[in-house]
């Protein structure tokens, strides 16, 4: 298959990603909690419909031709659980269960056929703020507290403040992009035309590329960004985060030109309070250094 051939040609990056995620980022899930999270991801109102669909696919004679869908779902769940995958990775596999649950519901007593859609709609509206940022931050925190929920990281080893990761990860990017843009524009013309940005992760890199105004080339050793290589950069680098000592081992001149502090402190803590560096005079070419910068996780 083309995908397998690509993996072979690029030293199996997906396997490296899974290994790196387990070692450096992912929390080993407790099986019971992981399965419970599947119910929460389905949505408490929709979970009975999905589970009814799974039962119908496995037990109904009418569903015999469709039974492989049930086994496919159970296989996906088993592989992800044994591989310590994030619970939400299973979400696409829910869809056949919902469809099968709808068929099973058609065969239910009339009262249940009327009640179930009502509960689905009411429940979906009540839990919508958990999947979409429709509430202002402070109101969302009160809503979360009222439900007795604690902020979640999606199974990752990250420090959190009051917001779950899906919401906190929406904060601070415009500000970071503006700060990097300002640094780039303040450079002398001969430096500006050679400058590139190095980000510690794909979130930072994508923020500069998408939200920045006329950004320079943006590099990162994180995930797919590493595969795109150094692209001729290295002479002048604007570096987001990192330690001075690490940069001074690679560049002759290192200067902290700014600091990134999320204006409302609502971003992920590991994205807050970051030094922004200007590094020049490489002691070694970025092409030579590039293999050491790869981190899949």
The tens digit of pLDDT for each residue in 164-209 reads: 888 899 999 999 999 999 999 999 999 999 999 999 999 999 999 9
Domain parsing of the chain, residue ranges: 2-131, 173-293
Question: What is the pTM assigned to this prediction?
Answer: 0.80
pLDDT tens for the chain, 297 residues: list them: 788 899 988 888 888 888 887 777 767 778 888 888 898 888 888 999 999 999 999 999 999 999 999 999 999 999 888 887 888 889 999 999 999 999 999 999 999 999 999 988 998 898 889 888 899 999 999 999 998 887 765 555 566 778 888 889 999 999 999 999 999 999 999 999 999 999 999 999 999 999 999 999 999 999 999 999 999 999 999 999 999 999 999 999 999 999 999 988 899 999 999 999 999 999 999 999 999 999 998
- Reduced 3-state DSSP string for the chain: CHHHHHHHHCCCHHHHHHHHHHHHHECCCCHHHHHHHHHHHHCCCCHHHHHHHHHHHHHCCCCHHHHHHHHHHHHHHHHHHHCCCCHHHHHHHHHHHHHHHHHHHHCCCHHHHHHHHHHHHHHHHHHHHHCCCCCCHHHHHHHHHHCCCCCCCCCECCCCCCCCHHHHCCCCHHHHHHHHHHHHHHCCHHHHCCEEEEECCHHHHHHHHHHCCCCCCEEECECHHHHCCCCCCCCEEEEECCCHHHHHCCEEEEEEEEEECCCCCCCCHHHCCEEEEEEEEECCCHHHHHHHHCECC
- Is there a contact between 206 and 169 (Cβ–Cβ < 8 Å)? no
């Amino acid at each position: 298959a083309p995908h397998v051939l690509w993996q072979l040609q690029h030293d199996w990056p997906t396997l490296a990603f899974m290994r790196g995620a387990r070692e450096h980022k992912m929390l080993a899930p407790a099986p019971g909690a992981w399965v419970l999270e599947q119910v929460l991801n389905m949505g408490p109102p929709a979970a009975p419909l999905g589970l009814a669909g799974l039962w119908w696919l496995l037990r109904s004679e009418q569903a015999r031709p469709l039974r492989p869908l049930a086994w496919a779902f159970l296989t996906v769940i088993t592989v992800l659980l044994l591989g310590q995958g994030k619970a939400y990775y299973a979400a696409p596999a829910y869809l056949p269960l919902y469809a099968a649950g709808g068929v099973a519901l058609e065969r239910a007593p009339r009262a249940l056929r009327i009640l179930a859609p009502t509960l689905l709609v009411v429940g979906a509206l009540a839990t919508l703020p958990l999947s979409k940022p429709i509430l202002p931050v402070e109101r969302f925190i009160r809503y979360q507290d009222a439900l007795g929920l604690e902020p979640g990281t999606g199974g990752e080893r990250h420090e959190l403040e009051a917001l779950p990761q899906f919401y906190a990860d929406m904060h601070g990017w415009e500000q970071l992009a503006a700060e990097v843009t300002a640094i780039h524009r303040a450079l002398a013309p001969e430096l500006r035309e050679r400058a590139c940005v190095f980000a510690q992760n794909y979130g930072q890199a994508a923020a500069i590329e998408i939200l920045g105004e006329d950004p320079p080339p943006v590099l990162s050793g994180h995930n797919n960004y590493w595969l795109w290589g150094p692209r001729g950069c290295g002479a002048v680098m604007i570096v987001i985060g990192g330690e001075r000592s690490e940069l001074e081992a690679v560049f002759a001149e290192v200067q902290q030109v700014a600091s990134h502090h999320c204006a409302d402190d609502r971003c992920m803590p590991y994205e807050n309070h970051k030094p922004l560096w200007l590094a020049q005079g490489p002691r070694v070419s970025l092409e030579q250094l590039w293999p050491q910068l790869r981190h899949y996780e």
